Chains A and B, each alone.
Chain A
Amino acid sequence: MSASRTGQTPLRGARSQRARLVSRLRAWGRHHRAMALDSLHRLVRYPLGNVLTMLAIAIALVLPAALWLTLDSARLLDAELTESATLTVYLANDVNVGQAQRIHEAVTAQPAVEQTRFITAEEGMAEFQHSLGLEDTLAGLETNPLPASIVIQPDDVAPAAMQTLAERLGKMVGVDEVRLDLAWIERLRHLADLGRRLALALGVLFGLGVLLVVGNTVRLSVESRRREIEVVMLIGATHAFVRRPFLYSGAWYGLGGGFLALVLLRLGGQWLALPVASLAESYGAAFSIPSLDVTGSTILLSCSTLLGWLGAWLAVTRHLASIKPG
């Protein structure tokens, strides 16, 4: 009898404890919802000032995001270029057509060579004239100064492999020079690497900027609601309770700033699209202004919201320490 009673009591205790936990969680959720709406309401009540704050956040976000986007598309371009990486073998001027033919066969037989294209001196001249638009000027030359050449697409486009292949080809009889179009690809890569680091550094700096913008705005609104904070702390509000509306307004600032940044990126992209397309066409490259996809947009919005929240947290926490009720 007594055993069953002692067995029951803790069970009932556990159940009421769980009920209390559930009701506390509900109250917590209720306050979160109320504060999210309340802070949104406050934002909407003073639209101009708050939109300006969001715009400041948006501008801080646009710069690193745009740089990152540009580099991202440069990477695509880089992949395309690597595929078209070639070696050009220039034959000596005194090599006759038959010898040139044999050299071409020997080069094609090399294991590391994927594909070759033989360009006679005449073809080379025609191509040169055409690409430079110097038909008339060069037509005045009595002899063709250009040698015959072989353009090689190697098996392996890794810089080291191409270097080895070039050295081997350079030792062949009748070959004057082997030109490797690697240097500028390398340069482009270094440039992109530099740009990425720059984007990261800018991102960190401008992220700090967002923290400061939100922090300052929230600091002012904490100051303007100081009396209210003192009163609720007098009647038993925890720091978390006091902080909550400000954290939400920080998050709203961040989210709004993120959205504006997306809009600015889109507008900027459209504004630049035409000249970029023409420029790319003139280089014979398929390059267009990139735009943020769904994942990218989500990342940007999450980051900006998080930054806004964090800025608010820092400002309120620093400020609450100075508010003593009573």
Chain B
Amino acid sequence: MIAFEHVGKRYGGRFEALAHLNFRVARGEMVFLTGHSGAGKSSLLRLVMRLERPTRGRIVVAGHDIATLHSSQVPFYRRQIGVVFQDHQLLFDRSIFHNIALPLEIQGMEPRESARRVRAALDKVGLLHREKALPIELSGGEQQRVGIARAVVNKPALLLADEPTGNLDPQLSADIMALFEDFNRIGTTVMVASHDLALIARLRHRILRLRDGRLVGDEGAR
């Protein structure tokens, strides 16, 4: 699903955020990406999302060599991956329902089908009763679950999450991780960046460890 080949990323010509990255993530796998802050977790996810291009090497995601992807093709590429952000990136002037419907609206899905999918996603994250609420009326954990519902509403083959439990207490964090495991169980490839080592050690999935932009550990690979 994801293949990094000799990938390096420099910012401003000097600072080396990532270097010599080589790894593969198989379809249907669940992978944690860990390391201290500044180790390059977010940079790596940004490369996969094609928010940035690598300065070296090749990245292939779902069969696309994304470094050579034309910029007009990038939106269509991004529709194939669901992303959960640490700060949720919700739109505060529209309801939970419309936030989650946004990816479907962008794809031009027919409204009735779209509403059905939005409710299914809301049900999955346990917020069906809050569809008319505004994001500001929800707690941090609920907002994060809305972010997850939006990321999975168009059934992406790849789900990325950047510190999804960053601001949550341990119980809520465990709930969120359990949700990701559910999506992984139905075949979605999941990649979660997190520095919550205690939590991810308990979950027994593959762990990629980054330090100073280099891959220093790859444990529990299938």
Contact = CB atoms under 8 A, between A and B. Distances in A.
A55 to B, nearest CB: 28
A238 B75 contact: yes
B79 A27 contact: no
Contacts of B75: 233, 236-239, 241
A63 to B, nearest CB: 39
Interface in B84-137: 85, 89-91, 93, 102-103, 105-111
Given A236-B76, A238-B75, A326-B49, A24 B108 contact: yes
B108 A234 contact: no
21 contacts: A26-B110, A27-B108, A28-B108, A30-B111, A31-B105, A227-B91, A231-B91, A231-B102, A234-B51, A234-B83, A235-B83, A235-B106, A235-B150, A236-B75, A236-B106, A236-B107, A237-B75, A237-B106, A238-B75, A241-B106, A324-B51
Interface string A236-250: 111101000000000
Contacts of A31: 105, 108
A235 B101 CA distance: 11
Contacts of B83: 234-235
Contacts of A23: 108, 110
Interface string A209-247: 000000000000000000110111111111101000000
Bin the interface of chain B by size.
20 to 34
Interface of B: 46, 49, 51, 72, 75-79, 83, 85, 89-91, 93, 102-103, 105-111, 150
Among A24, A28, A235, A326, max chain B CB count under 10 A is at: A235
A310 B89 CA distance: 31
Contacts of A30: 108, 110-111
Contacts of A227: 91
A162 to B, nearest CB: 66
Contacts, number: 60
A272 B152 CA distance: 66
Contacts of A233: 75
Interface in A6-25: 23-24
Could you say which interface size class chain A belongs to?
20 to 34
B43 to A, nearest CB: 11
Interface of A: 23-24, 26-28, 30-31, 227-228, 230-239, 241, 324-326
Which 7 A-B residue pairings sit nearest by Cβ, starting from the closest? Answer: A27-B108, A236-B79, A236-B78, A326-B51, A238-B75, A236-B75, A237-B106
A244 to B, nearest CB: 11
Given A237-B75, A326-B46, A326-B49, A232 B109 contact: no
Contacts of A27: 107-110
Nearest to B71: A239
Contact of A228 (B51, B85, B91, B108): B91
Contacts of B51: 234, 324-326
A222 to B, nearest CB: 15
Contacts of B79: 235-236
A232 B108 contact: no
A235 B46 CA distance: 13
Contacts of B106: 232, 235-237, 241
A239 B51 CA distance: 15
Given A27-B110, A238-B76, A326-B49, 17 more contacts: A24-B108, A26-B108, A30-B108, A228-B93, A231-B90, A232-B106, A234-B51, A234-B85, A235-B103, A236-B76, A236-B78, A236-B79, A237-B75, A237-B106, A239-B75, A326-B46, A326-B51
